[in-house]
Structure 1
Amino acid sequence: MTVIPTINETEALAQVYADRSPREILELALNQPGEIAISFSGAEDVVLIDMASRIGKPFRVFSLDTGRLHRETYQFIETVRKHYGIKIEICFPEPEAVQAMVNEKGLFSFYVDDHKECCGIRKVQPLRKKLAGLDGWITGQRKDQSPGTRTAIPVIQADPGMAGPGRELIKYNPLANWSSSDVWNYIRMMEIPYNPLHEKGFVSIGCEPCTKPILPNQHEREGRWWWEEDTKKECGLHAGNIQS
């Protein structure tokens, strides 16, 4: 019998599933009643899409288009859509908010003001709008992705800060205990699509102006917002990762 969590049960259930396989955690998520979707942007998320396709249950996928992604990323999204024969729900920022920010501060204000305002408009607000209609979402977060912010993420957690009015929201992180090597071993073994930028030294890929390749032995998040403090490599999509 499949156990379906409620908000009050997530902490206990996270302990039960702490050492379960990503597929088991993903199956639990896909069995949750209500609306649930996989958040897709990078290599980890395609692993989840591949696993979901093999589980055989219906699933939804959404992706955020900030308007500043790499050309290769747009092509990657289309490749994944065709490869799995799925619909990818694209979320866009509010044009008025983008226009107001750019007209006032220019196209590259984040190099001066830090990335929070731009990410808030282009990523966080569209995500909140999408999650307002969901009861759960599935992410590709891993504990080793960001030493300053993700080392303690559970495999299942309540996400009240991103829930819509009158709704409860559960976040599933099936790959929390996997390493980057685990992800890429799966990608190679299953021969699934990946962003061609990975072949050019990009590891963690975000918007084009805020992402660069990394050198050998650099941590993967050092290629994101490289002009800022290393311990704050979050855009706000996973706000609970940053402890005040």
Structure 2
Amino acid sequence: MGQIVNPQDRIARSTVMLLHTGFMETGRGLCSGTLVAQDLVMTAAHCVVNLENGEPYPASRFRIYFGNFHRAEDGTHDWMESRARDVRQVIPHEGYKIPYGGGDLHDIALVRLKDEAPSDFEPATLLTDLSVLGEKQPVTIAGFGNIKYYGDPSEPRSRLLRSFKTFVHSARDEKTGMVTFVRPTTIRTNDEYRLAVGGMAGGDSGGPGFVEVGNELLVFGVASGYRDDFASYENVPTHLEWLRETARRLQSCLAPQSGAHCAP
């Protein structure tokens, strides 16, 4: 995916890597996520759910990493453990469908950390107004996935945060409720949040999609997966109430949103 993000960039200071430790050696358990509170990460439900039985994996199987990390030539991991956090609790959306079926997929989840994020990381602000995402609206997606989409999933990920610029085609799919994108040279497809192959890659699942409103970067979507060779993003504005209520259940609070109020 795209270009490496400067560590000081706003996107880099709110995008994280989620690792399922049971799959550390193959890289199959790698996803991305968005810091939405000092102790909360938003990601895709399929990143934290056992797709065989629909139940979330134990929180103890996950770790959240902050910043860019490399895999050494000898195959060992060069990670700064001081910038990693254990997970206290995982809550996928109760309406998440396995396998994918008709209607809203609700491919979204919140992960609560045992300890707060490093002080140089800042929770992202979520988009509240879906009307911002008009046709041809420029957006940026980000994640820690492979450089190439096609490839052996067992190949090690670069573990470098990259971003990719694209455009909105439709802000809400009638069947899935997702947001779709097209690259400038791509023919339109169905009304979904979709992005042409060459943008999102393995390991980018759960990562954020950003739209600039005024001078502010807002998160509008969560990377979900591919449908008909186009990447789909779960719709954040339509899940705001679920996100707020779940944050309260986790005794936390989303980063300040326009028109939102958190209990003390």
When the two structures are superposed, what TM-score results if normalisation uses the length of structure 1? 0.28
Q: TM-score, normalised by structure 2?
A: 0.26
